[in-house]
Amino acid sequence: MQLPKLEHPDRYTGLYVVDFGETASVGYTAEEVAMLLESEAYAHVKVYRIHHAYPDGRMELKGVPRERFQLETGLFFYRRELQAARRDFEEIRRLAEDAPPPCRAQLLLGVLPERARLRFVAGLAYPAEYEDDMARWMLDRQVSAGEYADGGIGRLESIRRDARVIDSAQLHAAADRRARTRDEVFAAVGRPVQRSA
């Protein structure tokens, strides 16, 4: 696979390389990769995440299975009191406005059934491929929400099944990491560099 020469290759860390067979393109977001994989024309492509890029242009890549792009996961913070859970919800929303997360995410505030010891939950749902990035984003902002926290694909499924959502907000990724529209992604197929990072 022949990769294009990049200006500032370090800015591409966390983005993706798509190997189309004859050509390869650098700089896709996970959401954009998912758009390609959902199409019949590009269902066969190979995808690599850029884990590290060096000033001389070398990159550490890791293959990502296509199934990973079809999953969502979540991170949840539980409280005994609704007011405390609402504060967690508002704090995460404020943090996302000040320093946008690495990907789009749904922020939610929910109420679990009465049998739950910690009935109120504030949480985030986002593409599974961003699990490490979201954890880093939360750690870097020293989020200390909830009396108890958990997460994962299965936990997101159970929250969606059991919780009554009383508030939600869409969080948008940082401008340089926002997914383009489907039309923009497909129109740019074949360009060796997908975005100037």
What is the pTM assigned to this prediction? 0.81
- Residues 12-60: pLDDT tens digits? 988 999 999 888 999 999 999 999 999 999 999 999 999 888 888 789 9
Partnered with residue 77 across adjacent β-strands are 122, 149
Q: Are the C-beta atoms of 133 and 71 separated by less than 8 Å?
A: no
Tell me the domain boundaries of the chain: 9-69+180-187, 70-176
Three-state secondary structure call for residue 179: coil
Topology of the domain covering 70-176 = Alpha-Beta Plaits (3.30.70)
Q: How large is the average pLDDT for residues 3-14?
A: 87
- Residues 77-100: pLDDT tens digits? 999 999 999 999 999 999 999 999
